Amino acid sequence: MNVDRVRRLLQLLTLLRSGKAFGADRLAAELQISRRTVFRDLKLLESAGVPYKFEHDEGNYKLEMSLSLPPTQLNMDEALALLLATRVMMSSAAHPMYRAVSDAALKIESGLPGSVLRHCGAWLEGLDVLPEPMSPIESVADLFADLQAALARRERIHLVYDSVYDGGEIRLFVDPARLIFATRGWYLIAWSHSHDAYRTFKVDRILSAEFTGDTFEPRTDFSCDTYFGKAWRMIPDGVVYNVRLRFDAEVATSVEEVQWHATQSTCRDRAGRLIFEAEVDGLKEIAPWILGYGEHVEVLAPKELRDVIREKAERILANAQVVEREANV
């Protein structure tokens, strides 16, 4: 659901709660939309379980106040925080249950006092959320719900998984430990009986999941902090490097204002350049991040990281030269 529709639905709820007579034509005029869009929005309210009635004699729509939720006892700030959190989720669709969250929010909005709803609508008019790139999640919403249930039941799962590392399908039994959102997608962390270790599985690469009905006792030694350790993002290699980078003054501010890694420290030199230091497990994930800053960054240490960056830069240059030759043929 996009931000404009969220804003419009808030306005529609406010109008229907006002007690005034609103037919389709008047709603369209008030909201500055077509009659067809009015009917679509009303249908959305209905599917979300927000009760309204159509008075055939007068041709007007009204909320069924007797069927509305009981008062939520939210103050202005609490209601605004709730609606803003909902907007973030709906704009990004990052969670497979974002539609359910959207429906729940609409129900809560329908029960808010008119003054609170108007206040929140006015504040939300000036807010927008730009979604980050991420893997589509709607296609695996049912699987995600099943994985959540298996986590709650502590139930062993037989997975068929499209493994990039193995170059094809693998089949294995796993004991689920966590579902996490990271690096633009959802992942299942589970104890793999084939590897006798924890492994990470991207949810949208799970081809099938058979829930065995067998339960397991969760291990007490697992935590996400321990599992990911000092990895730049998600993939520790088992070797921790003391990374030291120097960013020029043009990008220094944009780099230092973000907490990129738990161990990072920064300082400026006399020329205004930023010295960035961190203890990072593995170089595969940090290398693309460094390359994204192009000529604005230098790798001071370690030498292994300089070699990785040099190799990738040479490969980029070689690819560009191939394209250039092909273009001149």
76 and 119 fall within a common domain: yes
* CATH number of residue 197's parent domain: 2.30.30
pLDDT score of 67:
43
- Count Cα atoms within 13 angstroms, Cβ side, for 329: 6
pLDDT digits (tens, 9 = 90+) for 35-62: 999 888 888 888 777 777 888 878 888 8
In a domain, 39, yes or no: yes
**300, pLDDT greater than 80:** yes
pLDDT score of 40:
87
153 and 218 fall within a common domain: yes
- Of 125, 151, 178, the residue at which a domain comes to its end is 125
In a domain, 133, yes or no: no
Phi, psi (rounded to 5 degrees) for 209: -140, 120
In a domain, 16, yes or no: yes
**1, pLDDT greater than 60:** no
pLDDT digits (tens, 9 = 90+) for 189-220: 999 999 999 999 999 999 999 999 999 998 88
pLDDT score of 88:
67
pLDDT score of 69:
44
pLDDT score of 4:
63
86 and 39 fall within a common domain: yes
pLDDT score of 8:
80
200 and 312 fall within a common domain: no
- Of 226, 256, 282, the residue at which a domain comes to its end is 226
As a whole number of angstroms, the distance between CA 184 and CA 177 comes to: 20
In a domain, 218, yes or no: yes
**230, pLDDT greater than 80:** yes
What is the value of pTM for the model shown? 0.68
52 and 166 fall within a common domain: no
Q: Which of 45-54, 127-136, 159-168, 309-318 has the lowest mean pLDDT?
A: 127-136
In a domain, 249, yes or no: yes
205 and 259 fall within a common domain: no
116 and 142 fall within a common domain: no
pLDDT digits (tens, 9 = 90+) for 90-133: 665 556 666 666 776 776 666 677 777 777 777 777 777 776 77
Q: Which of 235-239, 287-291, 301-305 has the lowest mean pLDDT?
A: 235-239
**299, pLDDT greater than 90:** yes
- Of 103, 125, 147, the residue at which a domain comes to its end is 125
**293, pLDDT greater than 70:** yes
Calculate the dihedral angle through the C-alpha atoms of 232, 154, 218, 190, rounding to the nearest 10 degrees: -30
Query: In the chain, what percentage of residues exceed pLDDT 90?
Result: 47
* CATH number of residue 35's parent domain: 1.10.10.10
201 and 160 fall within a common domain: yes
- If 0-12 CB within 10 Å is exposed, 13-18 middle and 19+ buried, where does residue 164 land? exposed
Q: Which domain holds residue 317?
A: 240-321
9 and 113 fall within a common domain: yes
**298, pLDDT greater than 90:** yes
In a domain, 132, yes or no: no
18 and 51 fall within a common domain: yes
- State how far the alpha carbon of 167 is from the alpha carbons of 71, 77, 170, 196, 207, in Å: 55, 51, 9, 20, 14
32 and 121 fall within a common domain: yes
SS (H, E, C) the chain: CCHHHHHHHHHHHHHHHCCCCCCHHHHHHHHCCCHHHHHHHHHHHHHCCCCEEEECCCCEEEECHHHCCCCCCCCHHHHHHHHHHHHHHHHHCCCCCHHHHHHHHHHHHHHCCHHHHHHHHHHHHCCCCCCCCCCCCHHHHHHHHHHHHHHHHCEEEEEEEEECCCCEEEEEEEEEEEEEEECCEEEEEEEECCCCEEEEEEHHHEEEEEEEEEECCCCCCCCHHHHHCCECCCCCCCCEEEEEEEECHHHHHHHHCCCCCCCCEEEECCCCCEEEEEEEECCCCHHHHHHCCHHHEEEEECHHHHHHHHHHHHHHHHHHHHHHHHHHC
In a domain, 234, yes or no: no
In a domain, 54, yes or no: yes
Work out how many domains the chain is built from and give that number: 3
208 and 247 fall within a common domain: no
**183, pLDDT greater than 90:** no
